[in-house]
Structure 1
Amino acid sequence: LPPLLREAPVWTLVYSLEQHGISLNTLYQLTSERDGPQLLVIRDANGGVFGAFGSDHFAVRSGYYGTGTCFLWKKLSDGELVAYAATGKNDYLMLSEPHFIALGGGNGDFGLWIDDELYHGHSAPCDTFNNDQLSSTVEFRIVGLEVWAFEI
């Protein structure tokens, strides 16, 4: 996390698949109520935990948005967290469309992509973050998803 947010005294759960149901529209509605950066956390059916840090709230917009503070991350099997910072090679940081959320791109694929049912996703290496694949398989099934906001 950016230094200022590492010290954030309050993390607020803005959206949870378990609490708020399976709806990308609900996710957008709830995340739009809080300006500022947000942390996306995904658990897949294979037990993987990974996600993204967005420099701004997730909301349907025209084209890519976000700043160079965005990053992708994953938890390794030993519990270590690995972050993939923006490389500056392109501006394909955050993309929020009515039918999907995506982060990264530039080589014909997204670093992280989630469908509108918040059920399927895929991850692949991309130029934006020079990341490894976040999930154990390219295509994954989502069993848990949360979005957290920070209060400073």
Structure 2
Amino acid sequence: SLTQQRDMYQSALSAATERVVQLEEAAQVSTKQWQRERDDDQQLFQGNVHRLLDEKARLLEEVEVMQAQKDAITEAFVVAQKGLTSLKRTEEERDAWRTEHRSLSESMEAQQAAHAATRMELNGSREREKATRTALERAQQDAN
């Protein structure tokens, strides 16, 4: 009777130990998978950040070029206005400057729209990352 009881306890202990080992292995697999997904998300995020920073730098360079062009146009306009005696000639120069300024403004607006679209894409990536993390946390909770 004691031997049977001892065997029964040992059998139950072995089953419990095996279940603990299985749960630990499942937790390790889940943790590794979560870490891989987290690493992938981090790489994606870093890639997006680098891409956005590169895009920002490019846009800033374009703005600087446009500002230099605008300054050059403005300076040329001032020189032309001082040097010209004919009112018609002055008006033609002014109209040319306005056209260039309008073109630059439209170009800047287009770049701002592209920047906004890039920011929206980044926000979408962040939302997907958050959803992935939430799903992973739920999976971990379900595993526990």
Judge same fold: TM > 0.5, yes or no.
no
Q: Which has the larger radius of gyration?
A: 2
TM-score by length of 2: 0.18
**With CA pairs under 8 Å and 6+ residues apart, which has the higher RCO, 1 or 2?**
2
Higher strand residue share:
1
Higher helix share: 2
